[in-house]
């Protein structure tokens, strides 16, 4: 009976319309990495309120039995949860946390740093692997339909990416900054596994476009967002390589550390905005580009917001890429101003040097892959941030390949911060502990923000002022929570350590 239900539900999934995905997560599912195409991670569910959130109680736990921390956002479709770790994917019954099936990818020696999640189209679930494969599996039983190579892992690529699906385009990115390899985002046919197009953020061998100044890198390892009206996909790109040796790659090095708008049917660039020109500190701009429609200075705008790893919060007009706001949201000391296009101007005195340079933020960044959330009720953008300092070194003996330098982190403190998108000013700051936190954020219409702190608690705070409302010790969170209605109850689902934990009101 369970198999039949899964098959029927999978067919129904193909009916998920773009409009639904663009307006917020459905109440009974979480069908994509962000829940919808906007990346806002905001739920309209109202069963859990500031008055009753203190009564949240654990209803089940699913243990993966693995050593790695869950960094993936669970996908929920028709009562089945899909959760991944590197080389592993589980289907779990959302009613009770029982395993339905488990798939393990062929053993490989690629970099197993973590995994962000999967994607679903019709009755197929798509999994990327550390050795940069994309595997299509039946949602019903986990059997492999096809397995294709995204990029050559022997050249230094790996993949942690949760794919973004638009139409029949499965868009997957890769990672890799230990080697000098070009950044690429690949679109693969959802049914056949055939490559449709490749977008390069830095030029592949033999080409000079885009004109990166000799830089490689700019990997697109985080899931992008999508505007159906503009028919544009928005993706953040990673740092250039060689990473800390900027001398051998003069200029701004586009499109590394950038936000790029891409046509999903062709892979052509519509526009780009560079968050960190000529980065020499490993500050990817891969963080989620959040899409918000609303007023800006009294006029309606289609906006894109990003809290970037370099410590700056950006608001762009996503129809053109024009900058509207640039403001720091964490400790920064590396820029000497903002240019006419809204980009921070790197201070040459903060370039890595033989005798070291004290730089804020450190290599962990002011934030990272952990997803932010936008609350439309308050107009606040919430991000898990870090104030931090590190020391960066470079000498010619470090060479021109891969990391090409050295650095270490001195200290850092984590905060959940609420940013007014109209001004970029911090409205409140909630301490999360020493060092960087790793959890993303979820907000709800009832004025609650859920995230995780450094000691290993899932927490709920009041969105308007950051006041603590609830907490539960579940182990260090490495993903963002999701919420959904099931059997008449609103469920909160968190990843803690290597397990999933479901909470509900009695």
- Give the residue numbers annotated as catalytic, written as ranges: 282
Question: Quick check: 88 and 114 in contact, CB under 8 A?
Answer: no
In order of 196, 296, 331, 428, the CA distances from 382 in angstroms are 36, 18, 16, 10
Query: What is the DSSP annotation of 463-488?
Result: TTT--EEEEEE-S---S--EEEEETT
Given a contact cutoff of 8 angstroms between Cβ atoms, the answer to whether 343 and 275 are in contact is yes
- Give the distance, in angstroms, between the CA of residue 204 and the centroid of all CA atoms in the same chain: 25
Using alpha carbons only, give the angle 344, 346, 349 rounded to the nearest 5 degrees.
150
Asked if 197 and 211 count as a contact pair (C-beta separation under 8 A), the reply is no
Contact 292, 374 (CB under 8 A): yes
Question: How many other CB atoms are there within 10 angstroms of residue 252's CB atom?
Answer: 21
- Report yes or no: 35 and 25 within 8 Å, Cβ to Cβ: yes
Read out DSSP for 116-138? Answer: ---EEETTEEEEE-TTSEEEEEE
Rg (CA), the chain: 21
Q: Which two tokens stand for residue 80?
A: 């089945």
Q: Contact 186/201 with Cβ under 8 angstroms?
A: no
- d(CA 163, CA 32) in angstroms, rounded, equals 9
Terminal C-alpha separation, the chain: 29
């Amino acid at each position: 009976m369970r198999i039949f239900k899964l098959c029927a539900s999978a067919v129904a999934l193909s009916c998920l319309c773009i409009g639904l995905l663009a307006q917020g997560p459905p109440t009974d599912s979480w069908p994509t990495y962000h829940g919808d195409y906007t990346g806002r991670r905001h739920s309209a569910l109202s069963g859990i309120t500031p008055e009753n959130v203190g009564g949240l109680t654990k209803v089940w736990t699913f243990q993966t039995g693995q050593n790695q921390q869950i960094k993936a956002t669970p996908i929920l479709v028709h009562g089945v949860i899909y959760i991944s770790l590197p080389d592993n994917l589980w289907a779990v019954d959302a009613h009770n946390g029982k395993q339905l099936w488990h798939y393990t990818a062929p053993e490989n020696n690629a970099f197993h740093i973590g995994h962000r999640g999967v994607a679903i189209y019709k009755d197929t679930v798509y999994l990327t692997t550390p050795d940069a494969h994309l595997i299509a599996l039946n949602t019903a039983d986990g059997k492999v339909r096809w397995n294709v190579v995204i990029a050559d892992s022997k050249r230094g690529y790996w993949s942690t990416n949760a794919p973004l699906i638009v139409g029949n385009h499965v868009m997957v990115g890769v990672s890799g900054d230990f080697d000098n390899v070009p950044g690429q985002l690949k679109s693969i046919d959802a049914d056949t596994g055939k490559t449709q197009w490749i977008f390069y953020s830095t030029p592949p061998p033999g080409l000079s476009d885009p004109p990166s100044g000799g830089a490689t890198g700019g990997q697109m390892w985080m899931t992008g967002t999508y505007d159906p009206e503009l028919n544009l996909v928005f993706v953040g790109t990673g740092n250039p390589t060689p990473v800390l040796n900027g001398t051998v790659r003069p200029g701004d090095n586009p499109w590394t550390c950038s936000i790029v708008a891409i046509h999903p049917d062709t892979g052509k660039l519509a526009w780009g905005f560079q968050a960190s020109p000529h980065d020499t500190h490993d500050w990817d701009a891969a963080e989620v580009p959040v899409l918000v429609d609303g007023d800006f200075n009294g006029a309606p705008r289609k906006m894109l917001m990003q809290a970037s790893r370099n410590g700056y919060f950006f608001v762009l007009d996503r129809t053109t890429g024009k900058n509207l706001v640039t403001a720091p949201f964490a400790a920064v000391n590396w820029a000497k101003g903002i240019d006419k296009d809204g980009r921070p101007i790197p201070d040459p005195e903060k370039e890595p040097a033989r005798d070291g340079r004290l730089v804020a933020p450190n290599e962990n960044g002011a934030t990272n892959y952990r997803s932010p959330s936008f609350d439309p009720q308050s107009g606040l953008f919430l991000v898990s941030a870090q104030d931090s300092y590190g020391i960066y070194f470079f000498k010619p003996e470090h060479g021109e390949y891969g990391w090409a330098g050295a650095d270490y982190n001195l200290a850092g403190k984590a905060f959940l911060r609420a940013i007014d998108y109209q001004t970029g000013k911090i409205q409140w700051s909630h301490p999360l502990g020493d060092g960087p936190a790793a959890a993303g954020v979820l907000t709800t219409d009832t004025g609650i923000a859920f995230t995780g702190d450094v000691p290993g608690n899932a927490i709920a705070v009041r969105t308007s002022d950051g006041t603590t409302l609830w907490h539960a010790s579940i182990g260090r969170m490495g993903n963002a929570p999701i919420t959904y209605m099931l059997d008449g109850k609103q469920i909160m689902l968190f990843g803690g350590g290597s397990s999933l934990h479901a909470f509900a009101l009695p």
